[in-house]
Structure 1
């Protein structure tokens, strides 16, 4: 069962739920800048719900500089392996199909702001 705060992201906010390797590749590969939320197991990791609340606020703070999606439980393991970001919850950023950075685990607000600004200023990383 999906945690209510994660369900809010895809339901109320209308963010895509990426439920396969094909869906994650297509989303990350689309033109523009994208933040992909990898929640992990919210019953084992209490930080997951916190990041599910923070990401929409981070999205607002950066006023449309990136869009957001959520990786479903079914696609999560493969996505973590493909990006080499294994800690959850995490937010992984892409620009035009290239991974540009990640913010794993829970951070304080100032860290999210600083790290997101730094990531968005980075050139795309090679795969």
Structure 2
């Protein structure tokens, strides 16, 4: 009997699987260009990065759809993969992924950084969704992984 060793999925492959599940099972739209046009009304935008750098990214892909269930169809759900997230992080002043940016009619409402306790997460989602639009934060430089001299 011979045993064949096979490499498991890479961190980016696991992320792609998670993003696909968010799209198929939970109705998320994928950001597919540098300057996306978000719909009128409320939008939640999950910003991701390579889970190799931060495992919380995969957790956020599971937690956010659950946290948004109580608001149903009242909010458009979007997710940006590591290809477009750095530019959006800079645009919205987000220091690190995972983060959820909330928009109302395209205007910045707030951001949730990292993973939190379930109750805190749900309370913050409700607070951000019912709050007024805020001034957009000043963009910060986001370094491209593996290329410290390059900003996105």
By the TM > 0.5 criterion, same fold? Answer: yes
Distance in 1 separating the partners of 2:32 and 2:107: 19
RMSD of aligned residue pairs (Cα, Å): 1.5
Q: What SS class does the counterpart of residue 53 from structure 2 fall into?
A: coil
TM-score w.r.t. structure 1 length?
Answer: 0.88
Is 1:59–1:67's contact at 8 Å kept on the other side of the alignment?
Answer: no
Q: What SS class does the counterpart of residue 63 from structure 1 fall into?
A: helix
1:94 to 95, 103, 107: 103
Q: Deviations over 1:9-55 (max 9, x none)?
A: 123434211022222xx02xx21000000122212211111111111
The runs of 5 or more residues in structure 2 that have no matched partner are: 1-11, 137-152
Shift of 1:62: 2.0
Distance in 2 separating the partners of 1:123 and 1:42: 32
1:19 aligns with 2:19: no
Match of residue 72 from structure 1:
81
Match of residue 117 from structure 2:
108
Distance in 1 separating the partners of 2:23 and 2:69: 16
Is 2:27–2:77's contact at 8 Å kept on the other side of the alignment?
Answer: no
Is 2:49–2:81's contact at 8 Å kept on the other side of the alignment?
Answer: no
The runs of 5 or more residues in structure 1 that have no matched partner are: none
1:39 aligns with 2:48: yes
Q: Which has the higher helix share?
A: 1
The higher-RCO structure (CA 8 Å, 6+ apart) is 1
